[in-house]
Structure 1
Amino acid sequence: MSKRSQKRARARRNHADAGGAAAASSATSPALPPESAPATPAFDGLAATPPGQVPPSSITVVEDAAAARDLAQRLRARSFPWPVVLITVASGQEEPFIPAQDVADQVEGLAQVYVMPTGPQSWAFSNEMPPFTQVYGGASRVYAPDGRWLQDPYASPLRMAFSHPDGVRKSDLLVSDVFAVAPVADRSSHPVRTVSGMVEGVVATRGLVSLSDGGMASVWAELTVTGVPIERLLRPQQAVSGVLDETTNRLDISAMRGEVVPERVVADSRPAPGEHRHVLVRVESVTAQEVTVALVPGVPVAVPAVLAGPDAAEAFAAGDVVAATWWPEGEGHELRLDLWEEDDPIAPAPALLPDGPPWLTEADTHPDAAEGEEADGDASREDDGIDPSSPLGAEILELRRSVEERSREVARLRAERADLRRRLRAGRAGGGSAVLTGREFLDPVEQFRFEVHVAWAGRIPASDKARRPLRRYEIGPDFLTSLEALQGVSRSKVLGVVVEVLTDLAKELAGRDLHRLRESAAGGAAAVTREDGAVCYRAALQRETASARRLHYWERPDGVIELSRVVKHDDMTP
């Protein structure tokens, strides 16, 4: 028997009191309906472990249903002052796929680890736990002491392992889950010292640091910024410093966050007066009244639904990365979610640590169908000693395949939903034009006028419509033809800029680069003027792109705007 197996065997023999038992429901364990479950305590925040109390370092193994019921009741009552890691043994196995002792070693002093076989214990545990919070059949969870998972089961992610190699990877996720919920005050139970070093690179979910004294250390994202991947915190050759846990060689660099003041970062993201700027944000929460986003973690900004566009509750979901717009309003700016379009440039997101990479990228705005914890099932697993010719073995293997297929389907559907939200946001940009088919009128002029009115209704808040009405305007003979012929700019973007021109917003936006069209490039050249006294103006549809598009229009002496043409940057024909 290997040393690791001997450790696990000793752990299984190490029985704690029945009140500390762990549990998981079997593959067929039914969950009780909500009304039959005991009352759930209200969430009231996370508290540090009481002074002098530390979780047991040994693994507790659940041996019977009574212990399982007791553990479930203690979890529901939130009687554990530290996180509880519950690792289950799959049917037909003698030990869990997830290496419980390795997990226990890494979370020593932070969490209590339990192991439980699938069987009568899982029935008892499942019957005591709220729906969707059970665990069984080789799966594992971390139950945080704050009790948030009682109201939101997804706050306690399910980590499913199907083989020993799969279990090793899932053990890293479990440890990460512990660090994400362990009280900060409890994270330094080992000898520590202050060190500095250089980031060598990022491997999997860890940053590797070469210390100035010649040693090596690893940086965990969970110790630095919860909910942000390590590759969005560290980059190669980045200088770091922090507190080194000499037992685990974990380097805590969270103090470096103090060098980047979030409130100052948010303030710096605002453009100059009169200008607008597109920035990346992460959606934190969505209600019917507002969409709350973060330009940096920990500094939420509430965007009223009226500034998030139509159907905001369907277009956004927590976790989405989207483009927002700092838009001039009065003497300052307001953050809006209904103005950005696919071809608009976006300012780089800030770094969360000194000299670090941007914490968000434009690639994050496009959901990846390959993402998702549930999408990583691998049919070519190692032989775990299951005899496929036996009835039980065949059933176990079939259940595995079924779980894998359903996991992949769940991941695919989640990616599809994210992509649909992205397309909904992109399609309605420019003030709600996504609801249009482009065929509401047979006459192209009537159709365009209708779309302008819809864009104005969506772009201008109700409180501003009285002071920003649409000016009288006409559509010149070449305008629609040039719009249809020109590629590289969306119709909705043109509609948005037309609305800005007709409401005089374009005069206040430095980004529109609004100016009179000159007869030549020579200094002091006269403005292009028609015989009727109309002056030609030029407004930017795009900036910082090749052959950036421009809008040409005439402003007549009677105040009427005449839309002339949509052109490329070098086209100076009125």
Structure 2
Amino acid sequence: MGVQTITGPRRAEELAEELNRPGRLRPTVVVTMARGAQRPYIDAGRLATELDGLADVYLICEPAASWAFSRGMPEMTQVYGGAGRVYPTGLEWVRDLRRSRLRFAYSEAEGTATTERLLGDGLRAADAAGLLTVRAAVPDRGPATEVKGTVGGCPNPSQAMVMLEDGGYATIQVGLLCPGVASDRLFERGMEVHGVHDERSRRLDVSGMRTSPGERMAEVVDGEVLLGRVESVGESACEIALLPGFPSFLSRARVTGDLTDDLRDLMSVGEVVPVRVGAGGTSLSMVDVDDDVPVRSLAVLPGGPGWLAPVEPPAASGSGRSETPDLSGPATVPLPAPVPNVRAPGPSYLLPRPTPSTLAGRAVQVLERPVRKTALRSALLAVEEERSAKRLALVEKARLEEELRSSTLEMQHLEAELARRIGLLDARDRELERLRRRNRKGAQRDHREMLSSEDLFADAEDRFRFDVTVCWARRIPAGEKTGRPLSAYRLGPRFLASIEGTPGVDRAKVVDVAMEVLTGLAGTSAGRQMHALRTGLGGNDQPVRRDDGATCFRVALQRNTPQARRLHFWKWAEEIEFSRVVLHDDYEP
């Protein structure tokens, strides 16, 4: 349908009335122009193109129309001054302002980012109204064919460009494929894609490439650590999605060993966290997931990038105190220069006494004729009344202009104050996320300390075996213990001394990896890099073997660390003997 322009107060009032009726079938996007701007900072044309059939897009381009629209809308739901807003179907957005967020754009540069936010808002509103499903079921409006192509790049978060095999090009509307996920988290340059091509709109529908979450989860290796996004969090449970729209439930015991922890102090909705996953995604756990363990994110589409990127924790300040400004203080936002007081000019200023005109000259001549004095007085009286009406109109105009300038100044102040508070809230959100990360790491550390067995055994081997058993009991789910028992093992004569004698490695890490070796998890984890120790550094050199037939294996305790520590162990038949903890360059069994 394109952009519908609102150019008068009456049409703006009608739009407000339409939005306040509950029977709308599609969301509505309203974009305004900033005072003095030649065109809107927000790209209303692009919104209309990409939301075609999903939302109605309106552009209010006159101040009078903007004021009329604001007067007709409920408090805190207006849009003005170059900003934009998406109004979902129904009227729930009147009570819950989070459903219809006001998106500001103070310049053309900000307009691009704001357009992207409004596009995301519009797609989410369309999805909530069931329009994405309906659209997928409607036959294409233009000729469509099955084609193949290669992704050339992602010009913005909502689109991917594709070079087709025949030399043409097409665009993928990411919001229709996977709402809420940016294009560069679904596609990357050189990725091969296929789908239905609408030749008229040049759009490529690749929804047929998307496999079910179950198929993607089937690729997961038992014990692998993946990135997940926190979808919801309560006091004792949370939901984490390893794929968009596919959340899994985690109880408190799967997140922290302290059953008194409030999970809301450890994580926040939208945060990206590492999660250890069982084969096929059957079980998730955040306990005993260390920072040095390699992680990856599942791809939504075959051949695509992981849909989540690891988020580096915000750097703490040197003093350890929050840098978040105080919201209670007065605003320090620079305001526009005050508008000088405009006085309504007096009659002599507005209408200076003209020089005698032709009409006045004729009037003087008529005055000399007594027979026409009455008609002349009537004419002069009418002219004076007209002048008086003009003077009053000009005075009223000046008053209204001053009122408009004053209201505009106040609106600019309110917008600046709102932007300041939004910035402060964003800063507090970042600080809260940093504190939650620190709390979560502290909970995991406290959990390890709580399980310390240092004072429970006089014999070092008894203590190590106890620690391995406790680690197995806590990390292996109850339903999987039968399939993952601890193999028979013994400790070599130098093993326990090597733990104490090798600096830079945590004893709890050695216990964890030993448990993984005994249950077979280490052999399936890419991060453990388990392989046979060879007689030389060449790939074709023979493995190191003992006279009794045992083969020496090497498994990573650390990664991406100078002289990353390794664990050596002997394996034969169904038994294991732990040999030594060594530095990376130590190849002695």
TM-score between the two structures when normalised by the length of structure 2: 0.61
For the residue of structure 2 that corresponds to 1:161, the secondary structure is coil
2:426 to 403, 411, 414: 411
Range that drifts further, 237-246 or 142-151: 142-151
Question: How far apart, CA to CA, are the structure 1 residues paired with 2:67 and 2:203?
Answer: 40
Tell me how far 1:150 sits from its aligned partner.
Answer: 6.9
The aligned counterpart of 1:110 is 54
Please tell me whether the aligned partners of residues 176 and 222 of structure 1 are also in contact (alpha carbons under 8 angstroms): yes
Please give the per-residue CA displacement for 1:124-169, whole angstroms capped at 9, x wherever unaligned.
5233x7xxx6655543222333777578644544321113443354
Tell me how far 1:200 sits from its aligned partner.
Answer: 1.7
The aligned counterpart of 1:557 is none
Residue pairs, 1:319-330, within 5 angstroms: 319-327=270-278
For the residue of structure 2 that corresponds to 1:268, the secondary structure is coil
Q: 1:491 to 1:250 in 2, by over 3 A?
A: farther
Q: 1:552 to 1:522 in 2, by over 3 A?
A: closer
5+ residue gaps, structure 2, are: 316-334, 341-405, 537-541, 571-575
1:21 to 11, 15, 18: 15
5+ residue gaps, structure 1, are: 23-66, 370-385, 530-535, 555-560
Could you tell me which amino acid in structure 2 is paired with residue 203 of structure 1? Answer: P
Tell me how far 1:222 sits from its aligned partner.
Answer: 0.2
2:512 to 496, 514, 518: 496
The aligned counterpart of 1:365 is 311
Do residues 525 (structure 1) and 541 (structure 2) align?
no
Range that drifts further, 392-401 or 226-235: 392-401
Residue pairs, 1:277-288, within 5 angstroms: 277-288=224-235
1:549 to 565, 579, 589: 565
Please tell me whether the aligned partners of residues 235 and 264 of structure 2 are also in contact (alpha carbons under 8 angstroms): yes
Please tell me whether the aligned partners of residues 85 and 142 of structure 1 are also in contact (alpha carbons under 8 angstroms): yes
The aligned counterpart of 1:341 is 290
Tell me how far 1:422 sits from its aligned partner.
Answer: 3.5
The aligned counterpart of 1:203 is 155
Please give the per-residue CA displacement for 1:272-325, whole angstroms capped at 9, x wherever unaligned.
xxx522222223222344332232223332233321225433323332222211
Q: 1:565 to 1:308 in 2, by over 3 A?
A: same
For the residue of structure 1 that corresponds to 2:121, the secondary structure is helix
Could you tell me which amino acid in structure 1 is paired with residue 161 of structure 2? Answer: L
Please give the per-residue CA displacement for 1:48-101, whole angstroms capped at 9, x wherever unaligned.
xxxxxxxxxxxxxxxxxxx4xx633x2xx4x21111113345578798543545
Tell me how far 1:12 sits from its aligned partner.
Answer: 1.6
Do residues 141 (structure 1) and 85 (structure 2) align?
yes
1:193 to 144, 165, 190: 144
Please tell me whether the aligned partners of residues 230 and 270 of structure 2 are also in contact (alpha carbons under 8 angstroms): yes
* Percentage of matched positions with identical amino acids: 32
Q: 1:442 to 1:322 in 2, by over 3 A?
A: closer
2:268 to 317, 335, 339: 317
Q: 1:215 to 1:537 in 2, by over 3 A?
A: closer
The aligned counterpart of 2:7 is 12
Please tell me whether the aligned partners of residues 226 and 298 of structure 2 are also in contact (alpha carbons under 8 angstroms): no
Question: How far apart, CA to CA, are the structure 1 residues paired with 2:561 and 2:29?
Answer: 52
Higher helix share: 2
Q: 1:477 to 1:242 in 2, by over 3 A?
A: closer
Please tell me whether the aligned partners of residues 448 and 508 of structure 2 are also in contact (alpha carbons under 8 angstroms): no
2:299 to 351, 359, 373: 351
Tell me how far 1:522 sits from its aligned partner.
Answer: 6.9
The aligned counterpart of 2:212 is 261
Q: 1:239 to 1:514 in 2, by over 3 A?
A: closer
Do residues 226 (structure 1) and 179 (structure 2) align?
yes
For the residue of structure 1 that corresponds to 2:230, the secondary structure is strand
The aligned counterpart of 2:377 is none
Please tell me whether the aligned partners of residues 433 and 492 of structure 1 are also in contact (alpha carbons under 8 angstroms): no
Question: How far apart, CA to CA, are the structure 1 residues paired with 2:555 and 2:54?
Answer: 60
Could you tell me which amino acid in structure 2 is paired with residue 307 of structure 1? Answer: R
Residue pairs, 1:383-532, within 5 angstroms: 388-390=337-339, 392=406, 398-428=413-443, 432-434=444-446, 459=475, 478=497, 481-482=500-501, 485-486=503-504, 489=505, 493-494=509-510, 496-497=512-513, 505=519, 511=525, 524-526=545-547
Please tell me whether the aligned partners of residues 516 and 528 of structure 1 are also in contact (alpha carbons under 8 angstroms): no
Q: 1:192 to 1:162 in 2, by over 3 A?
A: farther
Could you tell me which amino acid in structure 2 is paired with residue 320 of structure 1? Answer: E
For the residue of structure 1 that corresponds to 2:238, the secondary structure is strand
For the residue of structure 2 that corresponds to 1:87, the secondary structure is strand
Tell me how far 1:542 sits from its aligned partner.
Answer: 4.2
Could you tell me which amino acid in structure 1 is paired with residue 268 of structure 2? Answer: A
Question: How far apart, CA to CA, are the structure 1 residues paired with 2:142 and 2:339?
Answer: 52
Q: 1:233 to 1:477 in 2, by over 3 A?
A: closer
Q: 1:170 to 1:190 in 2, by over 3 A?
A: farther
Question: How far apart, CA to CA, are the structure 1 residues paired with 2:123 and 2:529?
Answer: 49
Q: 1:209 to 1:433 in 2, by over 3 A?
A: same
Please give the per-residue CA displacement for 1:399-453, whole angstroms capped at 9, x wherever unaligned.
554444434333333333333334444454xxx3246789x9999999x989969
For the residue of structure 1 that corresponds to 2:7, the secondary structure is helix
Could you tell me which amino acid in structure 2 is paired with residue 339 of structure 1? Answer: D
Q: 1:468 to 1:309 in 2, by over 3 A?
A: farther
Tell me how far 1:214 sits from its aligned partner.
Answer: 4.2
The aligned counterpart of 1:122 is 70
Q: 1:562 to 1:303 in 2, by over 3 A?
A: same
For the residue of structure 2 that corresponds to 1:339, the secondary structure is coil
For the residue of structure 2 that corresponds to 1:126, the secondary structure is coil
Tell me how far 1:114 sits from its aligned partner.
Answer: 3.9
Please tell me whether the aligned partners of residues 263 and 299 of structure 1 are also in contact (alpha carbons under 8 angstroms): no
The aligned counterpart of 1:298 is 245
Tell me how far 1:546 sits from its aligned partner.
Answer: 7.5
Please tell me whether the aligned partners of residues 218 and 279 of structure 2 are also in contact (alpha carbons under 8 angstroms): no
Please tell me whether the aligned partners of residues 12 and 66 of structure 2 are also in contact (alpha carbons under 8 angstroms): no
Please tell me whether the aligned partners of residues 506 and 514 of structure 1 are also in contact (alpha carbons under 8 angstroms): no
Question: How far apart, CA to CA, are the structure 2 residues paired with 1:230 and 1:173?
Answer: 14
Please tell me whether the aligned partners of residues 223 and 254 of structure 1 are also in contact (alpha carbons under 8 angstroms): no
2:583 to 534, 554, 568: 568
Please tell me whether the aligned partners of residues 97 and 161 of structure 1 are also in contact (alpha carbons under 8 angstroms): yes
Question: How far apart, CA to CA, are the structure 2 residues paired with 1:167 and 1:101?
Answer: 13
Question: How far apart, CA to CA, are the structure 2 residues paired with 1:351 and 1:468?
Answer: 32
Question: How far apart, CA to CA, are the structure 2 residues paired with 1:537 and 1:99?
Answer: 61
The aligned counterpart of 1:42 is none
Q: 1:387 to 1:367 in 2, by over 3 A?
A: same
Tell me how far 1:246 sits from its aligned partner.
Answer: 5.3
Q: 1:244 to 1:118 in 2, by over 3 A?
A: same
Tell me how far 1:203 sits from its aligned partner.
Answer: 1.3
Tell me how far 1:344 sits from its aligned partner.
Answer: 1.0
For the residue of structure 2 that corresponds to 1:306, the secondary structure is helix
Range that drifts further, 296-305 or 542-551: 542-551
TM-score between the two structures when normalised by the length of structure 1: 0.63
Please tell me whether the aligned partners of residues 194 and 206 of structure 2 are also in contact (alpha carbons under 8 angstroms): no
